[in-house]
Amino acid sequence: MKHFLDIHLTDPADLRVMIDAARAMKTARNNRPRGARDDDQPLAGRMVALIFEKPSTRTRVSFDVGVRQMGGETMVLSGKEMQLGHGETIADTARVLSRYVDLIMIRTFEEATLLEMAEHATVPVINGLTNRTHPCQIMADVMTYEEHRGPIAGKKVVWSGDGNNVFASFAHAAGQFGFDLTFTGPETLDPERVWLEWAAAKGYPVTIDRNPERAVMGADLVVTDTWVSMHDPESARERRHNQLRAYQVNEALMARAKPDALFMHCLPAHRNDEATSGVMDGPHSVIFDEAENRLHAQKAVMRWCLGV
């Protein structure tokens, strides 16, 4: 069973196969006559369940469109509307869904929900984000970096802000794709120690530098994310803003990175909080390529899971 649960749980050679396949599919699609169906329909006759226990724009639309482009069909389910939200166990839900569909993508709060789904499903399960990680996003980010600048291996990536679930998947990617990762942010919002230890054990220790101006020097890629994640309590908003204000990615900060550095944000963004509109819409920014590449990267992930 080939689940796609996290980047650090997936063989690096398989990750490379997926990135290269995603780029090839993007090229093929962009070269076809507009409106024409893709020649390749590897998901024809297959049904994919897309379960959302949290809001989503990019993940929901890109998975749905990706399945359809590959000839399959989708069923978008909200956790609240399912019996899952009314006491049915995750294990029973996984067993039942496996009798109907060929693949399950789930966006949920607790990592334990994802892992229990994968343990009991008899079809592949894909992690569409948990409170701890967001692997599909970082597959798209690696693809985006490489299509603009070539191999990410050996490059300097700097994350400025909250050490959240998206950062965690960057730490996994550093170890698997072989790039140098720096975290700059307040100590109170440091990444989970277990992820830092994992990257260090892979030979790519994450550098922690509390000074954002110093941290971004020589960066090939600067990344940030929202200061208040979906699972953070609303009551923490003001405190987080105060803690993170010094880590805003603005024009002055980007000017300290390499002249050809890229800027990424997985979106949705709160403009002029974690990043200024000047940076988001500026010459370094590839945020909308990043969003588009969710589609292509996830198509490759689904094909890998299904072996088609």
Q: Is 190 a catalytic residue?
A: no
* Residue 57 binding ligand CP, by CB under 6 A: yes
Instruction: Say which of 3, 102, 137, 305 is annotated catalytic.
Output: 137
Q: Which of 69, 74, 108, 137 contacts ligand CP by CB under 6 A? A: 137
Gap between the Cα atoms of 34 and 213, Å rounded? 45
Q: Is 134 a catalytic residue?
A: yes
Q: Which of 7, 25, 46, 59 contacts ligand CP by CB under 6 A? A: 59
Kindly state the tokens that stand for 47.
């049904």
Site for ligand CP in 1-40 (CB under 6 A): none
Exposed e or buried b per residue across 24-33, where buried means at least 16 C-beta atoms within 10 angstroms of its C-beta? ebbeebeeee
Gap between the Cα atoms of 207 and 33, Å rounded? 46
Q: Are 113 and 126 in contact (CB under 8 A)?
A: no
Q: Are 109 and 231 in contact (CB under 8 A)?
A: yes
Instruction: Say which of 107, 132, 172, 240 is annotated catalytic.
Output: 107
Tell me which H or E stretch contains 160: strand 156-160
Q: Is 37 a catalytic residue?
A: no
Q: How far is the CB of 128 from ligand CP (least distance, A)?
A: 8
Cβ proximity to ligand CP: between 56 and 160 the closer is: 56
Q: Are 117 and 146 in contact (CB under 8 A)?
A: no
Cβ proximity to ligand CP: between 145 and 204 the closer is: 145
- SS3 category, 42: coil
Instruction: Say which of 132, 225, 243, 296 is annotated catalytic.
Output: 225
Exposed e or buried b per residue across 163-190, where buried means at least 16 C-beta atoms within 10 angstroms of its C-beta? bbbbbbbbbbbbbbbbbbbbbbbbeebe
Site for ligand CP in 140-159 (CB under 6 A): none
Q: How far is the CB of 187 from ligand CP (least distance, A)?
A: 26
* Residue 113 binding ligand CP, by CB under 6 A: no
Binding part of the chain for ligand CP, among 13-21, 54-62, 109-117, 197-205 by CB under 6 A, reads: 54-62
Binding part of the chain for ligand CP, among 2-10, 43-51, 55-63, 156-164 by CB under 6 A, reads: 55-63
Identity of the amino acid at 161:
G
* Residue 132 binding ligand CP, by CB under 6 A: no
Gap between the Cα atoms of 254 and 30, Å rounded? 31
Q: Is 214 a catalytic residue?
A: no
Q: How far is the CB of 76 from ligand CP (least distance, A)?
A: 12
Q: Which of 3, 8, 46, 58 contacts ligand CP by CB under 6 A? A: 58
* Residue 126 binding ligand CP, by CB under 6 A: no
The site string for ligand CP over 247-276 (x = CB under 6 A, - otherwise) reads -------------------xxx--------
Exposed e or buried b per residue across 208-240, where buried means at least 16 C-beta atoms within 10 angstroms of its C-beta? beeebeebbeebbbbbbbbbbbbeeeeeeeeeb
Q: How many residues appear in the chain?
A: 308
* Residue 69 binding ligand CP, by CB under 6 A: no
Q: How far is the CB of 267 from ligand CP (least distance, A)?
A: 5
* Residue 164 binding ligand CP, by CB under 6 A: no
The residue with tokens 């989970």 is 192
The catalytic residue positions are 107, 134, 137, 225, 266, 294
> Where do contacts with ligand CP occur on this chain (CB under 6 A)?
56-59, 129, 137, 266-268
